[in-house]
């Protein structure tokens, strides 16, 4: 397994193709290095006894110890550990740990390459296994590029006025294909070694060019990583709030006639398996959310309890109700993830697939509650997160004491701790991170609307109607 130093070293050598604030920058740019600090935790903690159990696994290819973020799930226990890893690391960095997308995509492809081979006699699975072993051996970081720009939501990929609204093959060559399009919402693409691309939706039989899945280095010619950063505000050293160490970068990734060599292509025109890859990635990722969202929930619950405590109201009736409420959200999501793990099933490729229903009701519950969770913290914190002056005031001796004096609430907590707690509340509730927490909370891994579709499809509604017919005395 790599060290984080080795990880950053490799990044630094890549071709600059990141665009930030209008400039083209390399992967040694301070913002990218800062962004990478979150992900670096997944390297740094691998030998920490506290995290080793969840953060490492044994490769089923060769029995070697690998980072669990590079592991294909071989049994239900692997799924439970994946969930636990996501929760633990997410609460540690106060949000997305950013390394799960790649492995969720690779788990999906491990299944669909096998399934495609079984039906069509292709040899995708062998190709995939070769790539996967390389990926594990090099201890790489993958990013998942799924969501297309999509154009008009009423039209299918092949019906769009701009055919590039969905990523597709524009040229087929002996040694590979050329693709064009854009993938949105690609977290951590700027510090990933590889981009794993695949369809975002069901592909029609008549649009095989859209059924394309592949892995490719993130600095390949023709790839442009247009970058959006969300970060808490910087503060003076005395007031450093560690939460601000963990920023988020998103990539609006353009594939402008990118060549993909054959050995990196895992699905190519088999539309039903393009579709299946889309669904299975979503499934693995929703299962993963049943781990990371409770981790985020632990942080939100902790923040809610902390501000209540500092305000002196932690034991008041309605406050306890709210704390139980916010805590229940995460625990119920986590429970659903456990059920999805335990009730998983093995695919022909050997990879274990989480239970569809439980992964979906779990992720859905997180998605429909994130604004409600924020509302609870807002209730408890009051207006101060948006009106408290930021750090630089504190540096001015004319006024710094005022800030401490008038931000202090209960006895037994130092003025500086009061101030830091409210700074942290400000970062969560009223900074650029706020939009990230909520919007990623609703849509990351698939929106509640998408989960509804999966729930209805897997819920056997006819059987439930039969229960009703039975009780109503209607034959069925």
The residues in 342-401 that bind a copy of itself, with binding defined as CB under 8 A, are: 342-343, 357-358, 361-362, 364-365, 371-372, 374-375, 378-379, 382-390, 392-396, 398-399
351 within 8 A of 107, measured Cβ to Cβ: yes
Among 72, 231, 306, 349, binds a copy of itself (CB under 8 A): 306
Contact 92, 42 (CB under 8 A): no
**What does the block give as tokens for 11?**
């990044």
Whole-number Å distance between alpha carbons of 409 and 34: 34
Report the residue number, 36 or 385, with the smaller CB distance to a copy of itself.
Answer: 385
Strands 18-20 and 223-230, sheet pairing: parallel
Tokens encoding 189: 């693409």
> Which residue's entry shows tokens 């669990």?
68
Cα separation, 358 vs 333, whole angstroms: 9
Provide the 3-class DSSP secondary structure of residue 446: coil
- In terms of CB distance, is 63 or 471 closer to a copy of itself? 471
54 vs 116, beta carbon nearer a copy of itself: 54
Which x/- pattern over 141-170 shows residues binding a copy of itself (rule: CB under 8 A)?
------x-xxxxxxx-----xx-xx-----
String marking each residue 321-340 x if it binds a copy of itself according to CB under 8 A = x-xxx-xx--xx-xxx-xxx
Indicate which single residue of 59, 220, 301, 351 sits in contact with a copy of itself (rule: CB under 8 A): 301
For 156, other C-beta atoms within 10 Å of its C-beta total: 15
Instruction: Please identify, using beta-carbon distances, which residue of 70 and 200 lies nearer to a copy of itself.
Output: 200
Partners of 213 in the β-ladder: 267
Q: How far is the CB of 27 from a copy of itself (least distance, A)?
A: 17
Q: Give the residue with the Cβ less far from a copy of itself, 140 or 189.
A: 189
Element (H, E) at 18: strand 18-20
- Encoding tokens for residue 270? 């088999």
Which CB, 280 or 304, lies closer to a copy of itself? 304
Of 253 and 277, the one with the shorter C-beta distance to a copy of itself is: 253
Task: Establish if 205 lies at the interface with a copy of itself (CB under 8 A).
Answer: no
Interface with a copy of itself, residue 196, by CB under 8 A: no
Report in angstroms the alpha-carbon separations of 81 from 54, 74, 98, 337, 407.
6, 11, 17, 11, 42
The least CB distance from residue 368 to a copy of itself, in Å, is: 8
Q: At 170, list the tokens.
A: 């524009």
Residues 6+ away with beta carbon under 8 Å from 158: 204, 206, 207, 210
Distance from C-alpha of 134 to C-alpha of 62, rounded to nearest angstrom? 12
Site string for a copy of itself, 397-436 (x = CB under 8 A): -xx--xx-xxxxxxx-----x--xx-xx-x--xxxx-xxx
In the block, which residue shows the tokens 């004096």? 405
Distance, in Å, from the CA atom of 201 to the CA atom of 181, rounded to the nearest integer, reads 15
Nearer Cβ to a copy of itself (218/299): 299
- Minimal distance, residue 16 CB to a copy of itself, in Å: 12
H/E element holding 196?
Answer: strand 194-197
Interface mask (CB under 8 A) for a copy of itself, residues 248-267, using x and -?
A: --xxx-x-x-----------
Site for a copy of itself in 93-122 (CB under 8 A): 94
Write each residue from 28 to 67 as x if it is in contact with a copy of itself (CB under 8 A), else as -, in one continuous string.
----------------------------------------
Does the protein bind a copy of itself through residue 222 (CB under 8 A)?
A: no
């Amino acid at each position: 397994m790599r060290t984080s130093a080795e990880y950053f070293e490799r990044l630094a050598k890549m071709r600059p193709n990141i665009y930030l604030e209008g400039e083209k920058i390399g992967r040694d740019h301070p913002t990218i290095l800062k962004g990478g600090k979150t992900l670096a935790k997944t390297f740094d903690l691998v030998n920490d006894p506290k995290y080793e159990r969840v953060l490492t696994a044994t490769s089923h290819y060769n029995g070697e110890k690998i980072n669990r973020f590079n592991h294909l799930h071989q049994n239900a226990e692997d799924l439970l550990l994946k969930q636990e890893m996501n929760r633990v690391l997410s609460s540690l960095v106060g949000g997305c740990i950013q390394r799960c997308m790649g492995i969720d995509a690779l788990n999906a492809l491990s299944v669909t390459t096998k399934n495609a081979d079984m039906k069509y006699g292709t040899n995708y699975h062998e190709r995939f296994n070769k790539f996967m072993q390389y990926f594990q051996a090099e201890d790489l970081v993958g990013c998942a590029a799924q969501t297309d720009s999509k154009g008009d939501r009423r039209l299918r990929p092949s019906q769009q006025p701009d055919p590039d609204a969905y990523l597709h093959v524009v040229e087929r060559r002996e040694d590979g294909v050329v693709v064009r399009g854009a993938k949105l919402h690609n977290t951590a693409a700027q510090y990933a070694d590889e981009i794993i691309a695949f369809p975002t939706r069901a592909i029609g039989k008549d649009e095989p060019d859209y059924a394309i899945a592949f892995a490719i280095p993130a600095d390949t010619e023709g790839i442009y990583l247009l970058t959006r950063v969300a970060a808490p505000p910087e503060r003076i050293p005395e007031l450093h709030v560690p939460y601000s160490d963990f920023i988020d970068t998103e990539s609006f990734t353009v594939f402008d006639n990118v060549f993909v060599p054959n050995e990196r292509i895992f699905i190519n025109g088999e539309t039903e398996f393009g579709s299946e890859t889309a669904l299975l990635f979503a499934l693995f990722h929703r299962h993963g959310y049943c781990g990371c969202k409770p981790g985020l929930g632990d942080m939100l619950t902790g923040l809610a309890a902390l501000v209540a405590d500092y305000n002196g109201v932690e034991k008041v009736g309605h406050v306890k109700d709210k704390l139980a409420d916010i805590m229940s959200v995460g625990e119920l999501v986590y429970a659903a993830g456990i059920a999805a793990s335990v009730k998983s099933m093995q695919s022909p490729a050997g990879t274990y697939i989480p239970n569809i229903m439980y992964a979906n009701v779990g992720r859905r519950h997180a998605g429909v509650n994130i604004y409600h969770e924020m509302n609870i913290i807002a209730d408890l914190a009051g207006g101060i997160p948006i009106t408290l002056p930021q750090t630089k005031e504190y540096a001015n001796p004319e006024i710094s004491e005022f800030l401490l004096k008038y931000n202090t609430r209960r006895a037994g907590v130092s003025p500086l701790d009061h101030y830091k707690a409210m700074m942290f509340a400000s970062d969560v509730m009223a900074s650029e991170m706020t939009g990230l927490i909520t919007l990623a909370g609703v849509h990351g891994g698939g929106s509640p609307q998408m989960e509804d579709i999966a729930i209805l499809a897997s819920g056997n509604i006819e059987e439930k109607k039969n229960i009703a017919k039975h009780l109503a005395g209607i034959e069925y």
